[in-house]
Structure 1
């Protein structure tokens, strides 16, 4: 069965054989649940990449990186517009994501700094 709300579907247009009323609400809620599953899986992958990236950062400026944040938000705005999504929704979502991942990175950086230095003893 093909998901009409998969990546290639027309944004905002229901499939031709769409049910009405409560049945349609149930179908759409199930579609949202499937999409949420995929979105969270991708966010988990993104978070793992950010964790690894943090290992290579040495200070708060590298973590906060305002130029990179601006670059990401500009790209997200462009992608949202291209895919028929309100850009302000995408940007607000990414601002929240970036804020939380920045907090996570700062905690990782602080923990790394607080850890005792490795010794050369076997």
Structure 2
């Protein structure tokens, strides 16, 4: 499980930017790890329908929206980011499924 970074009040713009830079690095690492597991999952999929799986997409979207609300962040923003990321991963998977 990935630990949540402790939130602390910043005393300057520079400090806030440093924290944002740290988070950006962590987000990219997390996305790369998610991509690794998407690449693993495609090995178990046999068709375009398995890859596109709209019911799974909606399940993930509902989950992340709920998590966003619980954490006090904008669920619409989170949904938008996830839909874009999922669509990119689906395109990546389709390249593996299609001959």
TM-score, normalized by the shorter chain, greater than 0.5: yes
Structure 2 distance, partners of 1:25, 1:100, is 33
Deviations 1:76-114 (A, max 9, x none): 00000111110001000000100100000001112xxx3
Relative contact order higher in (CA < 8 Å, ≥ 6 apart): 2
Greater helix content: 2
Task: Name the SS for the 1:85 alignment partner.
Answer: coil
| Count of residues in Structure 1 that have an aligned counterpart in Structure 2 | 96
Q: After the TM superposition, which parts of structure 1 deviate over 2 Å for at least 4 consecutive aligned residues?
A: 6-9
Aligned to 2:40: 52
Query: Structure 1 pair 47/60, CA: closer, same or farther in 2 (3 Å)?
Result: same
Any gaps of 5 or more consecutive residues in structure 2? none
Any gaps of 5 or more consecutive residues in structure 1? 1-5, 115-122
TM-score by length of 2: 0.90
TM-score by length of 1: 0.74
* 2:26 is equivalent to residue 28 of structure 1: no
